[in-house]
C-alpha cells in the first residue's frame, strides 16, 4: 500500500499465500482445511499441567536473556542423547518461535546485498525474511525426478562473491523430502570449500519416516559454520506456545542476544517451561504424535494415487504431501481454487513455494482420519480427478 506514513520498502509489499488464507478458512461452513501446518492435536495434558504448576510457583517473569538455563541444559542433553552431538549452553538462545529465529539469524549475519541460497520449493517466508534484512534471496530449484534433492553442480553455479549462507530444510516443507546423507555431505563440503554458513531449519526432526534424522551440524567441520533453528511447534504439537531456539557458535549467540534485547528481550517464560517439560517427556509423548501422522500421511498418499490426473511421491518425511497435478492442464492456483469451490477443501497451490512448485499442491495432514476420508471422498467426485 502506498502511503507517506508507510516506509517505501513496503509500498509494493505482497502478502504471502499463507497470509491470505485467514479469510478463506471462513468460506464454507463445511470447509476442511488441509492448508496450514497447524496440528489439530492439543499439547499433551502432562505438559500443560506441569507448565501451569510452574506458573503458579512463580515462573511468570523475564528469563535470562539467553533463555531459561534449565531449558538450555535440556536441549544440550537432547542433542547428545539423540544425535551424539555435543552442544554447550552458551551456544543456545531461546526464541519466540522459529520464524522469528530465522529473522534474528539473518539480521545478525547479513550485510546489505549479501546473498542467501534457498532450495526450492521452499517455506514461503524465506525470501521475504531475507529481503527484510536487505539481503538477496537466490533460488536453487530442485525437481521431483531428482527426489527434490539438492544438485551439487547447480548449487556451485549459484555461488558468487556475495554468497553468505545456504538455508536447508529437511524433512522438507512443502515436498516432504528428506535429504540423504550424501546430499548433506555434498552441501557440507561446498560450505566448507566456499567458507559459507549453513542455516539448518530443523523443524520436522521427528517426522523422518525412513531413516533417523541427522543434523548437518554433526558432520565433520560443520559445527563451527552451522546455525541450527529448532522448534517445538510440530514435534511437540505446541504451535500456539510460540517457542523455538537457535544453536550456533557462542560468538554468534552473543550477537543474537544483543539484537534480541532490542526487539523481544526474552521468549515467554511460561512457554519455555512448557518446552522444558516437552523435552523431558519426549519419550512418552512423541511416539503417539509420530504414529498418528504416519497413519494420516500414508492414508492420504493411497487416496491421492487412486485419483486421475494427480500423483504423489512415496512419503518420506514432514507432515505434508506435494502431489503433482500437471496432468490436469491447469495451474496450481486454478486447481486449488477448483478444489475449494467444488469440494470445500482448502489446500495451498505449489506456486506459493517458488516457481518450481508450479504444477503441485501442498496438502497438510493436520486433520483426523474421518475428515481426511471425507475430504478425499469429495475430491474423488470432482471431474478433473475422475475417469
pLDDT at 289 over 80: yes
Over range 337-361, report the average pLDDT: 97
Question: Residues 217, 308: one domain?
Answer: no
89-136 pLDDT per residue, tens: 999 999 999 999 999 999 999 999 999 999 999 999 999 999 999 999
Question: Residues 90, 232: one domain?
Answer: yes
Buried b (16+ CB within 10 A) or exposed e, 263-289: eeebbbbbbbbbbbbbbbebeebbeeb
Over range 362-383, report the average pLDDT: 97
Residue 371 belongs to what H/E stretch?
helix 369-380
Q: Report strand pairing: 244-247 vs 92-95.
A: antiparallel
Instruction: Compute the mean pLDDT over every residue in the chain, rounded to the nearest whole number.
Output: 95
Give pLDDT, residue 246.
98
Q: How far apart are CA 287 and CA 374, in angstroms?
A: 26
| Cβ–Cβ under 8 Å, residues 243 and 268 | yes
Residue 228 lies in domain: 56-282
Buried b (16+ CB within 10 A) or exposed e, 43-57: bbeebeebbeebeee
pLDDT at 291 over 70: yes
- Kindly state whether residue 154 falls inside one of the protein's structural domains: yes
Question: Residues 215, 289: one domain?
Answer: no
| Cβ–Cβ under 8 Å, residues 11 and 1 | yes
Give how far Cα 13 sits from Cα of 1, 7, 16, 106, 337, Å: 7, 10, 9, 19, 23
Give pLDDT, residue 171.
98
- Kindly state whether residue 222 falls inside one of the protein's structural domains: yes
pLDDT at 279 over 70: yes
Give pLDDT, residue 16.
58
Over range 308-329, report the average pLDDT: 97
Which residue, 92, 98, 68, 104, is CA-closest to 243? Answer: 98
Question: Residues 26, 69: one domain?
Answer: no
Q: How far apart are CA 371 and CA 33, in angstroms?
A: 9
Give pLDDT, residue 26.
64
Question: Residues 245, 315: one domain?
Answer: no
Give pLDDT, residue 195.
98
pLDDT band at 5 (very low <50, low <70, confident <90, very high): confident
Which residue do the cell numbers 548437518 mark? 216
172-199 pLDDT per residue, tens: 999 999 999 999 999 999 999 999 999 9
Q: Look at residues 255, 282, 309 and tell me which one is the last residue of a structural domain.
A: 282
- 159: cell is 555461488
Question: Residues 26, 122: one domain?
Answer: no
pLDDT at 71 over 90: yes
Q: Could you give the maximum distance between any two Cα atoms of the chain, in Å?
A: 63
- Kindly state whether residue 182 falls inside one of the protein's structural domains: yes
Give how far Cα 359 sits from Cα of 143, 210, 311, Å: 11, 26, 11
Amino acid at each position: 500500500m502506498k502511503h507517506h506514513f508507510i516506509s517505501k520498502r513496503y509500498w509494493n509489499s505482497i502478502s504471502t499465500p499463507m497470509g491470505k488464507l485467514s479469510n478463506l478458512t471462513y468460506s464454507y461452513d463445511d470447509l476442511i482445511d488441509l492448508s496450514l501446518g497447524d496440528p489439530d492435536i492439543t499439547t499433551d495434558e502432562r505438559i500443560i499441567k506441569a507448565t501451569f504448576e510452574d506458573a503458579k510457583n512463580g515462573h511468570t517473569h523475564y528469563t535470562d536473556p539467553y533463555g531459561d538455563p534449565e531449558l538450555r541444559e535440556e536441549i544440550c542433553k537432547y542433542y547428545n542423547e539423540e544425535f551424539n552431538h555435543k552442544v554447550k549452553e552458551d551456544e543456545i538462545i531461546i526464541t519466540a518461535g522459529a520464524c522469528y529465529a530465522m529473522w534474528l539469524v539473518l539480521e545478525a549475519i547479513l550485510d546489505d546485498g549479501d546473498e542467501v541460497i534457498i532450495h526450492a520449493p521452499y517455506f514461503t517466508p524465506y525470501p521475504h525474511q531475507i529481503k527484510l534484512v536487505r539481503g538477496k534471496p537466490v533460488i536453487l530449484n530442485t525437481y521431483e525426478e531428482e527426489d527434490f534433492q539438492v544438485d551439487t553442480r547447480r548449487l556451485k553455479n549459484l555461488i558468487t562473491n556475495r554468497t553468505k549462507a545456504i538455508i536447508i530444510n529437511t524433512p522438507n516443507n512443502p515436498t516432504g523430502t528428506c535429504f540423504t546423507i550424501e546430499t548433506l555431505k555434498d552441501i557440507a563440503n561446498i560450505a566448507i570449500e566456499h567458507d559459507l554458513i549453513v542455516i539448518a531449519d530443523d523443524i520436522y526432526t521427528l517426522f523422518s519416516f525412513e531413516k533417523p534424522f541427522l543434523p548437518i551440524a554433526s558432520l565433520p567441520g560443520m559445527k563451527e559454520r552451522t546455525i541450527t533453528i529448532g522448534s517445538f511447534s510440530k514435534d511437540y504439537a505446541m504451535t500456539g506456545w510460540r517457542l523455538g531456539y537457535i544453536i550456533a557458535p557462542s560468538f554468534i549467540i552473543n550477537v543474537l542476544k544483543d539484537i534480541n534485547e532490542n526487539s523481544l528481550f526474552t521468549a515467554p517464560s511460561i512457554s519455555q517451561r512448557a518446552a522444558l517439560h516437552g523435552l523431558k517427556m519426549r519419550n512418552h509423548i512423541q511416539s503417539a504424535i509420530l504414529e498418528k501422522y504416519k497413519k494420516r500421511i500414508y492414508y492420504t498418499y493411497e487416496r491421492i494415487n487412486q485419483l486421475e490426473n494427480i500423483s504423489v511421491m512415496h512419503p518420506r518425511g514432514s507432515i505434508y504431501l506435494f502431489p503433482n497435478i500437471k496432468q490436469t492442464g491447469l495451474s496450481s492456483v486454478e486447481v486449488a481454487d477448483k478444489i475449494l469451490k467444488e469440494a470445500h477443501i482448502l489446500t495451498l497451490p505449489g506456486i506459493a513455494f517458488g516457481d518450481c512448485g508450479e504444477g503441485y499442491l501442498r496438502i497438510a495432514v493436520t486433520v483426523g482420519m474421518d475428515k481426511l476420508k471425507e475430504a478425499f471422498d469429495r475430491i474423488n467426485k470432482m471431474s478433473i480427478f475422475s475417469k
